[in-house]
A and B are shown apart, each in its own frame.
Chain A
Amino acid sequence: MRRRSEVDWLPLACSLVLGPVFCFGCGDLFGPERFDYVRPQLRSLSIDDMGTRLLDGGVLYLYAAPSDTAFVLDRNQRVPLEVAVSSGDRETVVLYNVHCPSRERIPGRFQCFRLNLAMREGHHASEVAGRLSAEHGRFLLISATGWFAAVVFFSPEDPIGRARRARSWPGVALTELTPLVCAGTSCPSLTVPVALDASAATPGDGVVQANAGDTLSVSYRQPTGGLLQLRLAVP
């Protein structure tokens, strides 16, 4: 015969156990996880400044090619880079994979930071500038008539979710994940887009402030201790 005192603790025990059971699986269910910095050996850095100033400032794309061409960051990993401008701005930015999702066994991979928007007839992409800014993004390209825009986001978090959210922006007809443009081993596999403004330096705000005549330098501390550096004169 079971004594009463032996079973009274069950409700408490169950509560204590069930909580951890569901927290065990809650990372993907209830939000993103924190990320970790890693330092792979890089063989090169490069800059793409094709993000010319549009309605809302500029975009500078930084790229890195790991020495191990098969290197891929996990979803919660980032590679830190230092960006310094001769006029005083300094920013730490973090590289992520060019391509998402981070796994290879999936059809339909796309560029993590990019999204294409097609507007409904009679609407211009500039109408979504406020929404884009609120999602920490900027225009990369707007077509002459404004029906199409390529946009860039400064974080790789939740690219599919934000593409879905963008569908409900006013005037947007559809959104499209941007297909891969370069998938060979010679392509840089890590990148980060950085907002670029022509204004006074504000170190640490996540935006690179640079003006004509400045020199912009990007630095990476290799795991072996060496410094990989790239300099660009701002025209």
Chain B
Amino acid sequence: MGIRPPTPLLVILAAAFCAQARAQTCTGFGSLLGSKYRVDLSAARYTYATAVRASVTTGRSLFATLGVGATRDGELDASTYDLSAQVGYDVPMGEEPITFCPELSVSYSLGPYDFMLNDGHFTYLDAGVGLSLAGIAVRTGRVTVIPAVGAHYSRLALKRVVSAEQRENSVQGWVKTDWYGVLSAGVGVVIDDHLVLRPGVTVPLGFVPVRHESYDDWIVPFGREDGEVSLNLTVGIRIGRRGRQAR
């Protein structure tokens, strides 16, 4: 099975960069009404691995995020390098300040290489849909607090790419696919409309149990464990001030 980027998603992503709508609050990062971009740096601690990520978000109601990252499992001496994109649409629910957003996401990960001393490498392609919901809990003169929750459902394709030497030894590459879900929650703290701190947790669910000595059922996002509650922390800085607009 070949892995191709989902073209409709790329079209939506491109459109999002041109969007002129109103706000982006549903993921807990607060509105981008006054800024053109938000740059985020994040770190997540999983049971056995650590991930760091940098991303840029732009748009207003229709928003898009492009990110790069790395996930490292020290015990396995293995890393993946990730490129991700996400689009969402912020929908106010009745009276402000509660909003929700449907989201589409896609990510491509390269690695790990030479995994467990087996030559070759892996690639991951992950495409998913989700919903996030957030509301402004506290708003003072300088600080806004935005709790947020989300649920995402993804299709993961894991491809094993064998080396030329492995091919000579009749080792076959393969592609496996599976569905899994991720529940998330976090609290965004927006300071002076410039700085965003967002601690959060994620819980992936629905991985197939793995038999110890076989790759047959091994189809999980790199570094994640089924049902683990992992902590993450994101720091966002808004840049590129927009002209003041009436809401």
Write the residues of chain A forming the contact surface with B, with a CB cutoff of 8 angstroms.
2, 6-7, 10, 13-14, 17-18, 20-22, 24-29, 32, 75, 100-110, 158, 160-161, 163-164, 175-177, 180, 183
Contacts and interface: CB of A to CB of B under 8 A. Distances in A.
Interface string B39-60: 0011111011111100000000
B195 interface: yes
B7 interface: no
B55 to A, nearest CB: 13
A7 B194 contact: yes
A127 B99 CA distance: 68
B116 interface: yes
A28 B72 contact: yes
Per CB-CB distance, the 8 closest pairs between chain A and chain B, nearest first, are A25-B43, A28-B74, A160-B77, A28-B50, A25-B50, A161-B77, A105-B210, A108-B116
Interface of B: 41-45, 47-52, 72-78, 114, 116-118, 142, 191-192, 194-195, 197, 207, 209-215, 218, 220, 225-226, 231, 233-235, 237
B117 A21 contact: no
* Most chain B Cβ neighbours within 10 Å, of A21, A100, A161: A21
B41 A183 contact: no
Contacts of B118: 108
Contacts of A180: 213
* Most chain A Cβ neighbours within 10 Å, of B117, B142, B207, B235: B117
B116 A177 contact: yes
Contacts of B195: 10, 13-14, 17
A212 B42 CA distance: 59
Given A22-B43, A108-B116, 18 more contacts: A7-B192, A14-B237, A21-B41, A21-B234, A24-B231, A25-B43, A25-B51, A28-B50, A28-B75, A29-B50, A75-B75, A100-B75, A104-B212, A105-B225, A107-B210, A107-B212, A158-B74, A160-B117
23 contacts: A2-B192, A6-B142, A17-B235, A22-B43, A24-B231, A25-B43, A25-B44, A25-B50, A25-B52, A28-B73, A101-B48, A103-B47, A104-B210, A105-B209, A105-B220, A106-B76, A106-B212, A109-B212, A158-B74, A158-B77, A160-B116, A164-B114, A177-B117
A110 B233 CA distance: 34
Contacts of B235: 14, 17-18, 21
Contacts of A25: 43-45, 50-52
Contacts of B234: 21
A21 B52 CA distance: 9
A81 B118 CA distance: 35
B194 A176 contact: no
A64 B177 CA distance: 40
Given A7-B192, A22-B52, A164 B212 contact: no
Contact of A21 (B43, B72, B76, B218): B43
A164 B225 contact: no
A24 B43 contact: yes
A14 B195 CA distance: 8
Contact of B233 (A14, A24, A103, A176): A24
Nearest to B212: A109
Contacts of B43: 21-22, 24-25
